[in-house]
Structure 1
């Protein structure tokens, strides 16, 4: 995805389609917006690559999210083909954030640095598997990815305008050099 100036993604994931519901093209939908039903207020929803666009015909709350019907999706087979699609809206259709607030998409691509300013890597994703937010960093140097709790202890500073987050690496994941340096511990 392209990034406009200010370090913000141009599109934001707001929902994911689940299983088909009924025979007339309904789908279960899981919302990722702070106000769960807000996804319906942002206009047409698009697939991640922007190749498909969906206008909402109706929305009803359900046990695990919402039951949604899209304009033009009228049969169960059509609804089944949509399963697991993530749906996006243009960033400029979302409400502006207050000072100190941000959308997760605003963090993607920011530099991750230590409290001393040393480069750690880049934010490549934010995840939530049910136990809280997790930030994924692609590490500088070896390019490996690492997952860290996205909380105030691990990420004490977020500077969207400056294009960086400060990360305090937990001690248990810092890799120590197990090999003694030359001349150390060799009895020489």
Structure 2
């Protein structure tokens, strides 16, 4: 900043860094890659305009967002951050489906155990608890139907996910190669 070491942007752009340099507080000279990636994607004049339009207290957050988006755009020029968000949303949907299937399976196992327990006690009191036995049979059938429905929805989701992933250019695992926080 006008002193010994120019900021990363002034170094890259090969210009003199002044006290009023808008980039200096956000792009220090010891991290030149930060400005280089943002400059490559957005351009120095656009970054300068964006920073000048913002109040000073919001500029650091804006620079962080620009760096994040620039890293995402370098990795996925078409979708950028949206590709990463889409990937994570698909993972959440898949995990919700798996959770629903596991909960249905647990409920079925519990109902089967209850049915077995009721069936063994029913032999002594068949006349008195005839209605209870019928209810247990209905619950058991309901459990099998619910389990089949959950399984059907899971297969529908998997077939949708595989058909949509084969036809799109979205990176399916944006976190495998490198971090956005480089």
TM-score (norm 2): 0.24
Flag the structure with higher strand content: 1
Flag the structure with higher helix content: 2
TM-score (norm 1): 0.24
